[in-house]
């Protein structure tokens, strides 16, 4: 099987045209947005052109199915609100190119998927979480985005029937690393051994909205001050529990009513934490809840926690990993490593259904979830070749 690097790069650049945004190569293509739906329409045409049968599932994930049982390759084509051109898109277009090359070579057929809402406008890797059974479809439909729109309402372009996982013998996902490790080490490829687990919820402090000029400091019940105190106390308390690989983020904050001259009465914010050890994730949850309770009590706030979403850490399949490693050693001898993934991926959910493996290429400067995300084209093509080599070994 011979993959065509130029054809692959041309498709990758074409996909970037949907939602092209910001400086450089940025894209804004959140799940179910106009740009996302247009990209999925284009992708379906490319899949059909590669001889694959297109099926869109009730979440809006787009499958390009080959005849008979096959490997499934892919990732996602939605983006963060401010995203790069490669996060997810790379794995989908690499899968498409390998499926095309396999067909041209008369090799065993390959199927392709672009999962919907991996970037979590509504949940955490929502489309594959439902397909893989980590999230019930009826529960997913009730999820809302940060503007209060329900997934049930946003879900345009979705199909009628689910794709049977029994069609597939395994799942391979190529992705950018989205971190600094390969770039700093000047290495070409990472073969993933495990994906970290995640917990994510919304927390609300509610105090008293009041006049910013007349309310004495000692009498305020300021929700922003509560959030600030919570953040400082939490960073301090987590220190006893975490490792250098543990991460936690407050990435979204909404103050009410969000005005210069009003003491904010309400702070609604996201709290997310990730680690490879489920026991540590659980201990962190305890500390987060306890710290929030203590801050609320000390500052006269009422406190509420939203539903906690989560995915467990997942190990990659040894057989698929071995195929990726053998291919990496052939194509980038001495310039690859085995490594964990700190980012979440659809592979986490698909692992409930079939063996999964993952492959990384370097991210320049370790930047991702930003318009500036980029990877050298030579590294993209090398990764594609490693993927194709692994598929050939597994055939």
Q: How far apart are CA 27 and CA 84, in angstroms?
A: 5
Q: Does 118 bind ligand HGY (CB under 6 A)?
A: yes
At 155, is the secondary structure helix, strand, or coil? coil
Single out the segment in contact with ligand HGY by CB under 6 A; choices: 43-51, 117-125, 206-214, 292-300. Answer: 117-125
Q: Does 177 bind ligand HGY (CB under 6 A)?
A: no
Single out the segment in contact with Mn ion by CB under 5 A; choices: 83-91, 296-304, 331-339, 371-379. Answer: 83-91
If the CB atoms of residues 151 and 344 are measured against ligand HGY, the closer one turns out to be: 344
Single out the segment in contact with ligand HGY by CB under 6 A; choices: 56-64, 113-121, 131-139, 252-260. Answer: 113-121
If the CB atoms of residues 119 and 317 are measured against ligand HGY, the closer one turns out to be: 119
CB 103 within 8 A of CB 51: yes
- Which listed residue (57, 97, 119, 385) binds ligand HGY by CB under 6 A? 119
Q: How far is the CB of 273 from ligand HGY (least distance, A)?
A: 12
Q: How far is the CB of 198 from ligand HGY (least distance, A)?
A: 7
**71 strand-pairing partners:** 110, 170
- Which listed residue (26, 30, 120, 170) binds ligand HGY by CB under 6 A? 120
Residue 120: contacted member of ligand HGY, Mn ion, none (CB under 5 to 8 Å, by partner type): ligand HGY
| Binders of ligand HGY in range 330-369 (CB under 6 A) | 343-344
Q: How far apart are CA 300 and CA 297, in angstroms?
A: 5
At 166, is the secondary structure helix, strand, or coil? helix
Q: How far apart are CA 56 and CA 62, in angstroms?
A: 5
Q: How far apart are CA 125 and CA 346, in angstroms?
A: 6
If the CB atoms of residues 97 and 119 are measured against ligand HGY, the closer one turns out to be: 119
Distance (Å) of CA 364 to CA 94, 174, 308, 342, 390 = 19, 16, 33, 17, 24
Distance (Å) of CA 328 to CA 7, 122, 332, 390 = 22, 35, 5, 8
Single out the segment in contact with ligand HGY by CB under 6 A; choices: 118-126, 133-141, 263-271, 384-392. Answer: 118-126
Residue 344: contacted member of Mn ion, ligand HGY, none (CB under 5 to 8 Å, by partner type): ligand HGY
Establish whether the linkage from the previous residue to 257 is cis, with ω within 30° of 0: yes
Q: What share of the chain is helix, strand, coil (3-state, %, to 5)?
A: 35, 25, 40
Distance (Å) of CA 289 to CA 92, 231, 234, 325 = 38, 12, 10, 42
- Which listed residue (36, 57, 87, 193) binds Mn ion by CB under 5 A? 87
Residue 123 φ then ψ, to 5°: -135, -135
- Which listed residue (19, 74, 88, 389) binds Mn ion by CB under 5 A? 88
User: Mask of contacts with ligand HGY, 288-327, x by CB under 6 A?
Assistant: ----------------------------------------
The residues of the shown chain that bind ligand HGY, judged by CB under 6 A, are: 118-120, 343-344
């Amino acid at each position: 099987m011979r993959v065509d690097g130029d054809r692959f790069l041309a498709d990758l650049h074409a996909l970037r045209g949907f939602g092209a945004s910001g400086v450089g190569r940025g894209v804004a293509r959140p799940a179910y947005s106009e740009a996302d739906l247009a990209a999925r329409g284009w992708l379906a045409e490319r899949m059909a052109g590669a001889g694959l049968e297109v099926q869109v599932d009730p979440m809006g994930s787009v499958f390009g199915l080959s005849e008979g049982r096959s490997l499934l390759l892919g990732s996602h084509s939605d983006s963060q609100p401010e995203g790069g051109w490669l996060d997810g898109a790379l794995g989908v277009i690499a899968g498409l190119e390998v499926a095309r090359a396999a067909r041209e070579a008369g090799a065993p057929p390959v199927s392709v998927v672009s999962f919907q809402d991996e970037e979590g406008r509504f949940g955490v890797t929502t489309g594959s979480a439902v397909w893989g059974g980590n999230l019930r479809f009826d529960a997913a439909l009730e999820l809302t985005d940060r503007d209060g729109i329900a997934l049930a309402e946003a879900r345009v372009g979705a199909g009628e029937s689910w794709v049977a996982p029994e069609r597939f013998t395994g799942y391979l996902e190529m992705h950018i690393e989205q971190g600094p490790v390969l770039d700093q080490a000047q290495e070409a490829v990472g073969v993933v051994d495990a994906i970290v687990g995640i917990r994510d919820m919304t927390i609300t402090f509610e105090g008293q909205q009041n006049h910013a000029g007349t309310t004495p400091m000692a009498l305020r019940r300021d929700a922003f001050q509560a959030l600030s105190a919570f953040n400082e106390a939490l960073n301090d308390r987590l220190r006893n529990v975490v490792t250098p690989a543990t991460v936690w983020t407050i990435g979204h904050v909404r103050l009410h009513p969000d005005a210069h001259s009003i003491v904010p009465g309400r702070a609604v914010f996201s709290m997310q934490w990730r680690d490879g050890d489920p026991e540590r994730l659980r201990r962190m949850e305890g500390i987060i809840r306890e710290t929030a309770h203590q801050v609320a009590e000390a500052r006269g706030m009422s406190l509420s926690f939203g539903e906690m979403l989560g995915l467990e850490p997942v190990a990659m399949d040894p057989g698929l990993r071995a195929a990726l490693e053998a291919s990496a050693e052939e194509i980038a001898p001495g310039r690859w490593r085995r490594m964990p993934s700190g980012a979440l991926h659809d592979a986490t959910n698909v692992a409930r259904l079939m063996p999964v493996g993952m492959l990384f290429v370097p991210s320049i400067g370790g930047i991702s979830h930003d318009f500036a995300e980029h990877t050298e084209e030579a590294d993209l093509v090398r990764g594609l070749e490693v993927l194709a080599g692994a598929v050939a070994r597994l055939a």
